[in-house]
Amino acid sequence: MREELAGFTIGVTADRRRDELAALLQRRGARVVLAPALRIVPLADDTELREATRACLDRSPDVLIANTGIGMRGWLEAAEGWGLAEPLRSVLSGAYVVTRGPKARAVTRAAGLSDQWSPSSESCAEVVEHLRQRGVAGQVVAMQLHGERQPECTSALEAAGATVIEVPVYRWAPPIDPAPLHRLVDLVAGRLVDAVTFTSAPAAEALLRAAGDRTETVLEALRGDVLASCVGPVTAEPLVRRGVPVSAPSRARLGALVRTIVDELPRRTVTIKVTGHLLTLRGHAAVVDGELRPLAPAPMAVLRALAQTPGRVLSRTALLRTLPRGADEHAVEMAVARLRAGLKAPRVVQTVVKRGYRLRVD
């Protein structure tokens, strides 16, 4: 198959650039579930941002921490509207500029500012450690925020003797329609998606908040069957802290994120030989001798259960536990019938009289 992600279902939690990410995944054959976990909302009142800008003009920062490209651009555009763009650039041009990633670096350079250092991990902890070693006692640090305040970073810098000016450019808010996010929680908890993508740490936190009392169920799924794919280490931090193994590209780019998924998901598939056929299980489909066979959730659940112990007979009762609640043994028979029809290889699933079903493995 040319479409590397055909047969896989992938959840997208991004709001901004979600259509771009979805298109990249769909181009490779994936089925995409759009479920924005958060939305970026410009500050309803510019008072805080203007006050922070005035604070920088009154006391020129010795250090500027540029966390995000969109945040730096928004700050400079707001200053332009107030007629303060040139004074702001002037005071920032004398600062030691730390950029937390390539986008922040690009925006600061486009504004005529020279960046001196970037953390290899793009983490706040590495920034704080670098500035501590460099020495910030008695200095003013302007920290452009990225949606949420960073009390740990602020406190650590203040403990090292710095005065921190927090610059809030935008904030995160819940999605206008929370239904898609709750549906994604259901799909993750039921292991009905193969991967979930995250492009910001707050989005990962928001998904877990939406899970409510099912948070541990969602985390267990992300620790096992469902791949958590993050655009970079900063985004991954809330999941890593909770013991979730994540995949992340070496460069924080959407294209690199998709390539990581293309590399990882096919490696997680199960392939077995059954009655002369090569059978590979993907998220919502089976690949039979190179041909994709999409399957409904119930027959796919039966196939997964049988493939866990190829050749072993599973009773109707055992298979019933894999189906949605409320199903009965007749539903198992229907799921098996639909599975055989969907695979277009009826001899793959064998009926063992009075015992159940098994895969007829070679």
pTM for this model (two decimals): 0.76
Q: How many CB atoms lie within 10 A of CB 222?
A: 23
| The pLDDT value given to residue 351 | 93
Which CATH number do you get for residue 190?
3.40.50.10090
Do both 207 and 278 map to the same domain? Answer: no
Residue with tokens 């985390």: 219
Q: Is 100 exposed, middle or buried (0-12, 13-18, 19+ CB in 10 A)?
A: buried
* Rounded-to-integer distance, Cα 295 and Cα 88, Å: 58
Lay out the sheet containing 31-34: strands in order across.
Answer: 31-34, 9-12, 195-198, 227-230, 246-247
CB distance 53 to 82 below 8 Å: yes
* Rg, the chain, Cα only: 25
Q: Which residues of the chain have pLDDT under 50?
A: none
Judge whether 3 lies within some domain.
no
Answer left, alpha or beta for residue 33, where phi above 0 means left and psi between -120 and 50 means alpha. Answer: beta
Q: Is 4 part of any domain? A: no
182-204 tens-digit pLDDT: 999 999 998 889 999 999 888 99
CA distance 334 to 340: 10
Question: Tell me: the pLDDT tens digits for 23-38?
Answer: 999 999 999 999 999 9
Q: Return the pLDDT at 156.
A: 95
Phi, psi of 166, deg, nearest 5: -85, 130
Domain boundary among 268, 287, 304: 268
The span from the CA of 276 to the CA of 205, in Å, is 46
| Domain coverage including residue 34 | 9-38+175-268
Confidence (pLDDT) at 307: 92
Statement to judge: residues 182 and 204 lie in one domain: yes
Among 233, 268, 303, the domain-final residue is: 268
Residues 299, 230, single domain; the answer is no
Q: Are residues 45 and 160 in the same domain?
A: yes
Are residues 45 and 167 located together in one domain of the fold? Answer: yes
Give me the pLDDT at residue 255, please.
93
CA 279 to each of CA 143, 189, 216, 282: distance values in angstroms, whole numbers, following the listed order: 54, 26, 32, 10
Residues 204 and 288 grouped into a single domain? no
Structure-token match 């996010």, residue found: 181
Which pLDDT value is given to residue 172? 83
Same domain, 46 and 150: yes
pLDDT at 343: 94
In a shared domain, residues 100 and 168: yes
The residues, ordered by sequence, that sit 6+ positions from 225 with a Cβ below 8 Å of its Cβ are 191, 194
In a 10 Å sphere around its CB, with 0-12 CB exposed, 13-18 middle and 19+ buried, how is residue 89 labelled?
Answer: middle
What phi, psi does 355 have (nearest 5°)?
A: -125, -45
The whole-number pLDDT of residue 326 equals 60
Residue 45: its pLDDT value, please? 65
Kind of pairing, strands 270-274 and 277-281? antiparallel
Given a contact cutoff of 8 angstroms between Cβ atoms, the answer to whether 18 and 36 are in contact is yes
The 3-state secondary structure of the chain reads CCCCCCCCEEEECCCCCHHHHHHHHHHCCCEEEECCCCEEEECCCCHHHHHHHHHHHHCCCCEEEECCHHHHHHHHHHHHHCCCHHHHHHHHCCCEEEECCHHHHHHHHHCCCCEEECCCCCCHHHHHHHHHHHCCCCCEEEEECCECCCHHHHHHHHHCCCEEEEECCEEEECCCCCHHHHHHHHHHHCCCCCEEEECCHHHHHHHHHHHHHHHHHHHHHHHCCCEEEECCHHHHHHHHCCCCCEECCCCCCHHHHHHHHHHHHHHHCEEEEECCEEEEECCCEEEECCEEEECCHHHHHHHHHHHHCCCCCECHHHHHCCCCCCCCHHHHHHHHHHHHHHHCCHHHEEEECCCEEEECEC
Instruction: Please tell me whether residues 75 and 182 are part of one structural domain.
Output: no
> How confident is the model at residue 171, as a pLDDT?
78
Q: Residue 209 — φ and ψ, nearest 5°?
A: -65, -40
Residues 146 and 46 in one domain: yes
Predicted confidence at residue 202, as pLDDT, reads 87
Q: How many domains does the chain have?
A: 3
Task: Name the domain boundary from 268, 293, 314.
Answer: 268
